[in-house]
């Protein structure tokens, strides 16, 4: 099964959005923008009966404890034009463990119409293109806070051209790399907060309606009133509101207001230029301060790699002991720079520099990539990292602020060693875009609750080599995309929903030395899109990795142990996939399209 996809230039899409918002009135408030889209959608979209794939939003996957992204197949029973939504009836799921209400009210931009339709008389081509236009506008032009604008303000005059210019600048990499990534991070967080707010507020309103209905029934013995379409989330269409305090809504609204105020400043091209110049001047001042006392200072691109030693405040003897450890790892002729914080170092270092971290917590808000054979190493023995109950205050811990989406992004050869990567406040620990990542003696910690959190995501043509590491408490420990590769030696994957997922038969996996283990995982290894000759089963459950290797013995090597896993190996039959492979990959890549996306060339 395939879905409609449209290859258009960014400029073409933006002109289409402008055409929909052509307006003869003197002022177009934000509320009228939505009305214009309603009118356009009513003329373009079939009102009912067409088949589609529903890509379930992250916020729903989190509440239902589903893997993200999760897709289901069904048909549109009714389009709700006034709300740009549809009543979607689920008829097939990829995973039988996914349990949803049969009928769900979903946003149109979450639907991907399929090319094959039961009713060929329907004009689904036009329907799919209309939804594609709508999805582009609400993803790239419209902001979550726009709906709160006053009706006496002209939204088109104030924002449309500026947003179009910003979208073009981001797509063509005209902004500085840190600024572009910062703005994309703000946008992704704002859109997620919007989904979460809508979900929680609908819960509260549903609970109030149900409470009123129950009171009427008790007092008047009235017939049960008709209920609204249930929201996906639980069997009765509502979450337990007692677990969703009003303070959560207040915190989300506050964070949205902060993002809005910052983004509206950066939306102005002149302010963006000033922001970039301020960053550049700050870097120059930092380099100048470092060069005090020297006669010359080589440009950053011309000097040889140096080693940065980052320490947290401590007693003199502790600092001397750390420098003694550092001396063992640094070559005698290497230039060394002492630093106060990891964030400062990441802001001014070259990608091929080495960084040594003292024990302690090192919080970063890093908006760059790591590559070019650089390294990040902890000044501690690996045995202290890998003990059953590690003492985090005594270890080098790298963590991020809770609004970040990814802790570290790697786009070239890089080494991490003797570190704790605290991923409890991020959606993803490491995004490996390209190159080879070497990880030795490290521990990756997830929060143990989110069903969407990933430890390492290995993109096509990237590779990861891990030795003596622990990955624990993630929804997915390691996600291997098509044509990626991994070599794991003495790696423990513990307490994950899925330890390692192999999303295509082109993935290479070598579990070296038979010392890799999967402990207390719901699924140890999950293999997707695998041809199973002579097998009609939708899902195949195996006991040993050696049984899985028989289906792909060229790419999957080595051995491992499973301990207390609910299912050791789970295989999804290629012949029973909801989506064709390239359509499936399109939806997977769509999740990362706006996140940490930028020009790989050096800025």
| Confidence grade of residue 173 (pLDDT, cut at 50, 70, 90) | confident
- State yes or no: pLDDT of 236 exceeds 60: no
Q: Positive or negative CA dihedral for 373, 376, 377, 383?
A: negative
DSSP per residue, 315-371: -HHHHHHHHHHHHHHS-TT--EEEES-HHHHHHH--TT-EEEE-SEEEEE---S-B-
> What is the model's pLDDT at position 455?
96
Tell me the residue ranges of DSSP E strands in 64-157: 71-80, 85-93, 103-107, 111-113
> What is the model's pLDDT at position 520?
96
What the block records as the tokens of 553 is 């013995």
CA distance 470 to 477: 10
What CA dihedral angle connects 321, 327, 329 and 330, to 10 degrees?
A: 150
Please report, rounded to a whole number, the percentage of residues in the chain having pLDDT higher than 70. 81
> What is the model's pLDDT at position 320?
92
- State yes or no: pLDDT of 97 exceeds 90: no
The full length of the chain comes to: 603
Residue bearing the bigger pLDDT, 230 or 475: 475
| Confidence grade of residue 602 (pLDDT, cut at 50, 70, 90) | very low
In tens, the pLDDT along 198-228 reads 888 776 666 555 555 555 555 555 444 333 4
Element (H, E) at 406: strand 406-410
- State yes or no: pLDDT of 595 exceeds 60: no
> What is the model's pLDDT at position 105?
93
> What is the model's pLDDT at position 296?
41
Of 53-67, 352-366, 399-413, least confident by mean pLDDT is: 399-413
CA distance 51 to 387: 52
- Count Cβ atoms below 10 Å from residue 511 Cβ, excluding itself: 25
- State yes or no: pLDDT of 93 exceeds 60: yes
Of 218-222, 338-342, 543-547, least confident by mean pLDDT is: 218-222
Q: Where are the alpha helices (DSSP H) in 221-245?
A: none
Paired strand residues for 500: 478, 525
pTM of the model: 0.83
Of 46-55, 166-175, 187-196, least confident by mean pLDDT is: 166-175
Rounded average pLDDT over 567-596? 68
CA distance 33 to 234: 33
Contact 406, 398 (CB under 8 A): no
Q: Where are the alpha helices (DSSP H) in 121-176?
A: 124-140, 155, 161-171
In tens, the pLDDT along 254-313 reads 999 999 998 988 888 888 888 777 766 655 555 445 444 443 444 555 578 899 999 999
Cβ neighbours for 35, distance < 8 A, ≥ 6 positions apart: none
| Confidence grade of residue 547 (pLDDT, cut at 50, 70, 90) | very high
- State yes or no: pLDDT of 117 exceeds 90: yes
- Residue 219 CB-half CA count within 13 A: 6
In tens, the pLDDT along 51-85 reads 999 999 988 888 888 888 888 999 999 999 999 99
- Count Cβ atoms below 10 Å from residue 557 Cβ, excluding itself: 15
Residue bearing the bigger pLDDT, 476 or 15: 476
- Count Cβ atoms below 10 Å from residue 386 Cβ, excluding itself: 17
Distances (CA, A) of 343 to 206, 396, 435, 510, 536: 44, 14, 23, 35, 53
Rounded average pLDDT over 512-521? 89
> What is the model's pLDDT at position 29?
83
- State yes or no: pLDDT of 178 exceeds 50: yes
- State yes or no: pLDDT of 167 exceeds 60: yes
CA distance 279 to 268: 17
Contact 312, 343 (CB under 8 A): no
The pairing of beta strand 454-458 with beta strand 436-440: unpaired
In tens, the pLDDT along 411-432 reads 899 999 999 999 998 989 999 9
What CA dihedral angle connects 408, 70, 478 and 188, to 10 degrees?
A: 0
| Confidence grade of residue 560 (pLDDT, cut at 50, 70, 90) | very high
Cβ neighbours for 204, distance < 8 A, ≥ 6 positions apart: 241, 244, 246, 249
Of 129-133, 237-241, 507-511, 535-539, least confident by mean pLDDT is: 237-241
Rounded average pLDDT over 88-94? 91
**What is the CATH architecture of 356-589?**
3 Solenoid (2.160)
What the block records as the tokens of 569 is 């190996």
Of 41-45, 128-132, 235-239, 520-524, least confident by mean pLDDT is: 235-239
Q: What is the mean pLDDT of the chain?
A: 83
Rounded average pLDDT over 320-342? 90
- Count Cβ atoms below 10 Å from residue 184 Cβ, excluding itself: 20
Instruction: Give the per-residue SS3 of 249-282.
Output: HHHHHHHHHHHHHHHHHHCCHHHHHHHHHHHHHH
What CA dihedral angle connects 16, 20, 22 and 24, to 10 degrees?
A: 170
Instruction: Scan for tokens 């090192």, then name that residue.
Output: 362
CA 303, 307, 311 angle in degrees (round to 5)?
140
- State yes or no: pLDDT of 28 exceeds 70: yes
> What is the model's pLDDT at position 215?
54
Cβ neighbours for 356, distance < 8 A, ≥ 6 positions apart: 307, 308, 309, 310, 326, 329, 330, 377, 378, 379
Please report, rounded to a whole number, the percentage of residues in the chain having pLDDT higher than 90. 44
Of 127-136, 445-454, 590-599, least confident by mean pLDDT is: 590-599
DSSP per residue, 515-539: EEEEES-SEEEEEEEE--TT---SE
Rounded average pLDDT over 76-95? 93
Residue bearing the bigger pLDDT, 201 or 560: 560
């Amino acid at each position: 099964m395939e879905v409609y996809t449209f290859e258009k230039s960014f400029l073409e899409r933006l002109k289409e959005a402008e055409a929909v918002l052509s307006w003869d009135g003197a002022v177009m408030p934000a509320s009228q923008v939505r009305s214009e889209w309603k009118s356009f959608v009513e003329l373009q979209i079939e009102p009912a009966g067409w088949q589609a794939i529903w890509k379930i939003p992250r916020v729903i996957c989190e509440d239902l404890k589903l893997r993200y992204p999760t897709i289901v197949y069904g048909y549109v029973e009714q389009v709700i034009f006034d709300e740009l939504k549809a009543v979607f009836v689920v008829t097939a799921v990829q995973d039988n463990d996914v349990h949803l209400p049969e009928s769900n009210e979903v946003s149109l931009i979450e639907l991907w119409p399929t090319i094959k339709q039961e009713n060929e008389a329907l004009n689904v081509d036009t329907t799919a293109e209309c939804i594609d236009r709508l999805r582009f506008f609400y993803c790239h032009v419209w902001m979550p806070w726009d709906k709160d604008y006053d009706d006496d303000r002209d939204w088109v005059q104030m924002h449309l051209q500026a947003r179009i210019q910003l979208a073009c600048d981001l797509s063509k990499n005209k902004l500085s790399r840190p600024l572009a990534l910062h703005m994309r991070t703000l946008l992704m967080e704002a859109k997620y907060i919007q989904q979460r707010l809508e979900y929680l507020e609908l819960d509260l309103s549903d609970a109030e309606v149900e409470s009123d209905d129950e009171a009427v029934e008790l007092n008047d013995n009235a017939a049960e009133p008709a209920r609204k379409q249930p929201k996906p989330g639980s069997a009765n269409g509502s979450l337990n509101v007692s677990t969703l305090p009003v303070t959560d809504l207040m915190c989300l609204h506050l964070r949205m207001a902060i993002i809005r105020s910052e983004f509206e400043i950066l939306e102005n091209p002149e302010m963006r230029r000033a922001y970039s110049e301020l960053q550049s001047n700050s870097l120059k001042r930092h380099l100048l301060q470092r060069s005090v006392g020297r006669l010359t200072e080589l440009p950053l691109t011309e000097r040889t790699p140096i080693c940065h030693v980052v320490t947290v405040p401590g007693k003199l003897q502790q600092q001397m002991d750390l420098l003694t450890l550092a001396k063992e790892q640094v070559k005698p002729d290497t230039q060394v720079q002492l630093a106060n914080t990891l964030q400062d170092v990441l802001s001014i270092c070259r990608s091929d520099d080495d960084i040594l971290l003292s024990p302690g917590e090192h919080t970063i808000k890093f908006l760059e990539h790591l590559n070019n054979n650089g390294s990040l190493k902890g000044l501690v023995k690996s045995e202290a990292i890998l003990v059953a109950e590690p003492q985090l205050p005594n270890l080098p811990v790298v963590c991020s602020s809770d609004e970040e989406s990814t802790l570290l992004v790697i786009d070239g050869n890089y080494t991490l060693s003797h570190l704790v990567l605290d991923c409890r406040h991020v959606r993803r620990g490491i995004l490996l875009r390209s190159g080879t990542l070497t990880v030795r003696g490290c521990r990756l910690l997830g929060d143990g609750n989110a069903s969407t959190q990933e430890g390492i995501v290995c993109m096509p043509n990237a590779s990861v080599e891990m030795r003596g590491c622990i990955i624990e408490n993630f929804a997915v420990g390691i996600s291997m995309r098509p044509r990626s590769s991994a070599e794991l030696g003495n790696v423990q994957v513990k307490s994950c929903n899925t330890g390692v997922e192999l999303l295509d038969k082109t993935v290479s996996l070598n579990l070296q030395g038979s010392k890799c283990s999967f402990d207390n995982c719901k699924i140890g290894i999950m293999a997707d899109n695998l041809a199973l000759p002579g097998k009609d089963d939708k899902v195949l459950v195996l006991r040993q990795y050696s049984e899985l290797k028989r289906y792909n013995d060229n790419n999957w090597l080595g051995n491992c142990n499973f301990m207390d896993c609910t299912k050791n190996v789970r295989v999804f039959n290629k012949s029973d996939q909801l989506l064709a492979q390239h359509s499936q990959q399109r939806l997977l890549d769509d999740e990362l399209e706006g996140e940490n996306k930028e020009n790989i060339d050096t800025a």
